[in-house]
Structure 1
């Protein structure tokens, strides 16, 4: 069975698992590879997920207006989708594209002031954005609610 079917990937337990288990994977990989090595792995894994998600939605190369990216992504990965994060806003800031999010799985349970970055979620949005636009970007997690921000803010600069 593939991820594009409408049946659960697991017939007994369904498609979802807990944040506790996902965070254990993150911490275990960080312990093995170090935070920088883990960031590379999770960002890349997220990019693949985002690209595949856009393909499954039939949006590859659609180049929808930036302001419409947030509701499209939120429908897929927000409360009504996989619950990875709530995508709240997408807009242009100069030549950059900014995506704002709340309740990211990567930062669940983190203490205020934590320097943890949201690498998997950043990668998923990054891969989705590149698949939608056909452009290549440099993505960065620039603000966090853990460090005084009002949202998780991802900024994508064109290369």
Structure 2
């Protein structure tokens, strides 16, 4: 992959620019197509990140992996979100996130969905768990919840 280098601006951009990108895509493609595209982009990036973390093709302890994922995505890493914890109950994995990049903007009637962040976590977990999973956002801080909660279930 070609690595881009910005000597003065660095590798980060503003949340406002990201929101403008998402809103522009939504205007051009429609809300559903934009959600599909952003989720797919997040999953691809998450799978690449899992490879960099050494998760591909290996079994990892979920607690140890959570620390690595939280560090890479949090304030010392990509600043995409804060992951407080990841739990597994049977076939369900829950990821408790805050300050997600996606949860900015929108309206009271239609808060934004965390499509890119959900997709990224989905991609990482697919590689970590070595299973096919399906993900959804079940809680949102913009609706008064304590977390943007992502839930993943294994599928056959």
TM-score for the superposition, normalised by structure 2: 0.91
Aligned partners of 2:86 and 2:93 also within 8 Å = yes
Deviations 1:80-135 (A, max 9, x none): 10101111110013320011100001012445564321000000000000111211
* Alignment correspondent of 1:15: 11
Moved over 6 A (4+): none
The CA distance in 1 between the partners of 2:115 and 2:109, in whole Å, is 17
- Return the match for 2:50 from 13, 31, 54: 54
Gaps of 5+ in 1: none
TM-score for the superposition, normalised by structure 1: 0.90
Q: Secondary structure at the match of 1:130?
A: helix
Aligned partners of 1:45 and 1:120 also within 8 Å = yes
What is the Cα deviation at residue 21 of structure 1?
A: 0.6
* Alignment correspondent of 2:145: 149
* Alignment correspondent of 1:33: 29
Gaps of 5+ in 2: none
Q: Secondary structure at the match of 1:156?
A: strand
What is the Cα deviation at residue 155 of structure 1?
A: 0.4
The CA distance in 2 between the partners of 1:133 and 1:125, in whole Å, is 12
Cα RMSD over matched residues?
A: 1.7
1:116-127 equivalence runs, <5 A: 116-127=112-123
Count of paired positions: 155
* Alignment correspondent of 2:111: 115
